[in-house]
């Protein structure tokens, strides 16, 4: 009898296994139809949640752009900044000459909360007059009121953000260590204008676009093709930036987005240690840095005097809310689908001392230093 029962039990288990296999084959499992890009889990953890809607301390946002297109939009944005406890915001205009003046007059006409930074004038690039013309243009923009230069951008083929601003089509020029940029960087040092430089992109954008890519889906939107002739990879670009720091020790360089090295804080720390004139901003890398809250916090603590707060992203309230939640709370396991990463995020929970430095003290100190140097 016992043997018969055992045989029946084994047969039943086998039937169940077969039926499961058949179900999967027929595609009845959601696993077979759900696409990764549609996977948007909702956290089910019962944990404390905090949703600050303004910064705990006054903020000098060192990295944004000319998102407001009209006087009315400037006014709305100024109100929003005030509500978020943001006292100053750097507008990286990319512009020079008349274009810079137009933006300057519109933003400054609305509020002093806006701090206008100009671009390099690339209109004479490739001609013998380039240096002279670009330097004259920089001095003119400085006299108009430009406080710094931004955002220089090199994603592998040379600076292309400023040429892109003029033509709508980015035309790569040269890397940051190119002697043709020497006169401009030197003049920035002389005038006390910091330069924001963007090199490369996060490491996931360089990896093969396949099931092993840790940041897949978002990387797919921003991928970089290393087969492009002449293109430099992330680490080579970081080297050009380091050489730029070496060539111009009297110029303040701000590598934005943590120099796109949030995946390797050890390397980023070594680079920081090598260059006194190099600073970082944390703009638009809140999602990348909030996946490793302990390593990120340790980095913020170690380099607490040399990191600025920045946003960079479109100024929706949701975006600001996410910054305050990541930097100020220790909330765990939440998502942000504005970016396509599938990662859960975690609050970094910076101390008040570090927060104050990040939010405004480091910026104040830099401006004091630059002003003293100018005298
Ligand atoms: Zn930017």
Residue 11 pLDDT exceeds 60:
no
**How far away, in angstroms, is 62 Cα from ligand 1 center?**
10
Encode pLDDT of 303-356 as tens digits. Answer: 999 999 999 999 999 999 999 999 999 999 999 988 778 899 999 999 999 999
- Complete edge-to-edge strand list for the sheet that includes strand 195-199: 149-154, 195-199, 253-255, 278-281, 307-308
Task: Report the DSSP beta bridge partners of residue 197.
Answer: 152, 255
Q: Are 287 and 341 in contact, with CB atoms under 8 Å apart?
A: yes
Q: Are 291 and 346 in contact, with CB atoms under 8 Å apart?
A: yes
- Complete edge-to-edge strand list for the sheet that includes strand 59-65: 59-65, 86-92, 114-117
Tell whether domain 55-374 is in CATH 3.40.50.11890. no
In the structure, what pLDDT confidence band is assigned to residue 26 with cuts at 50, 70 and 90? low
Residue 372 region by backbone torsions, left for phi larger than 0, else alpha for psi between -120 and 50, else beta: alpha
**How far away, in angstroms, is 308 Cα from ligand 1 center?**
13
Residue 5 pLDDT exceeds 70:
no
pLDDT reported for residue 278: 98
- Omega before residue 218 within 30° of 0, cis: no
- Omega before residue 346 within 30° of 0, cis: no
**How far away, in angstroms, is 64 Cα from ligand 1 center?**
6
* Residue predicted with more confidence, 61 or 14: 61
d(CA 351, CA 300): 10
**How far away, in angstroms, is 45 Cα from ligand 1 center?**
34
pLDDT reported for residue 1: 44
Domain ranges across the chain:
1-34, 55-374
Residue 9 pLDDT exceeds 50:
no
**How far away, in angstroms, is 309 Cα from ligand 1 center?**
12
Least confident of 84-93, 157-166, 182-191: 157-166
Residue 16 pLDDT exceeds 50:
no
Q: Are 248 and 195 in contact, with CB atoms under 8 Å apart?
A: no
d(CA 292, CA 331): 13
Could you list which residues have their CB under 5 Å from ion ligand 1?
151, 312
**How far away, in angstroms, is 255 Cα from ligand 1 center?**
11
Q: What is the dihedral of CA 244, 245, 251, 254, to 10 degrees?
A: 100
**How far away, in angstroms, is 32 Cα from ligand 1 center?**
39
In the structure, what pLDDT confidence band is assigned to residue 373 with cuts at 50, 70 and 90? confident
In the numeric block, which tokens belong to residue 248?
Answer: 């111009």
**How far away, in angstroms, is 281 Cα from ligand 1 center?**
10
**How far away, in angstroms, is 278 Cα from ligand 1 center?**
17
**How far away, in angstroms, is 257 Cα from ligand 1 center?**
8
């Amino acid at each position: 009898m016992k043997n018969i029962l055992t045989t029946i039990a084994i047969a039943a288990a086998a039937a169940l296994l077969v039926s499961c296999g058949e179900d999967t084959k027929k595609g009845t499992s959601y696993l077979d139809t759900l696409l990764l890009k549609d996977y948007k889990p909702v956290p089910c953890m019962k944990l404390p949640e905090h949703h600050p809607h303004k910064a705990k301390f006054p903020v000098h946002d060192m990295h944004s752009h000319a998102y407001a297109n009209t006087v009315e939009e400037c006014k709305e944005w100024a109100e929003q900044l005030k509500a978020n406890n943001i006292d100053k915001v750097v507008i990286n205009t990319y512009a020079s000459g008349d274009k810079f003046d137009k933006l300057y007059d519109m933003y400054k006409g609305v509020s002093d909360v806006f701090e206008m930074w100009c671009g390099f004038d690339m209109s004479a690039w490739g001609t013998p007059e380039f240096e002279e013309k670009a330097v004259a243009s920089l001095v003119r923009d400085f006299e108009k009121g430009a406080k710094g230069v931004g955002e220089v951008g090199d994603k592998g083929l040379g600076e292309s953000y400023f040429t892109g601003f003029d033509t709508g089509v980015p035309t790569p020029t040269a890397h940051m260590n190119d002697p043709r940029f020497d006169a401009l960087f030197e003049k920035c040092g002389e005038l006390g204008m910091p330069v924001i430089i963007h090199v490369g992109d996060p490491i996931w954008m360089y990896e093969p676009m396949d099931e092993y890519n840790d940041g897949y889906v978002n990387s797919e939107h921003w991928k970089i093709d290393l087969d492009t002739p002449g293109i430099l990879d992330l680490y080579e670009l970081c080297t050009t930036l380091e050489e730029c720091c070496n060539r111009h020790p009297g110029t303040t360089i701000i590598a934005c987005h943590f120099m796109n090295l949030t995946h390797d804080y050890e390397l980023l720390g070594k680079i920081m240690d090598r260059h006194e004139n190099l600073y970082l901003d944390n703009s638009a890398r809140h999602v990348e840095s909030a996946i490793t809250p302990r390593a990120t916090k340790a980095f913020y603590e170690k380099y607490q005097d040399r990191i600025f707060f920045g946003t960079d992203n479109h100024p929706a309230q949701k975006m600001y809310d996410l910054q305050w939640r990541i930097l100020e709370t220790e909330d765990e396991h939440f998502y942000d689908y504005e970016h396509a990463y599938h990662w859960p995020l975690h609050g970094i929970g910076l101390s008040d001392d570090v927060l104050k430095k990040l939010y405004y003290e480091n910026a104040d100190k830099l401006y004091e230093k630059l002003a003293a140097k100018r005298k």
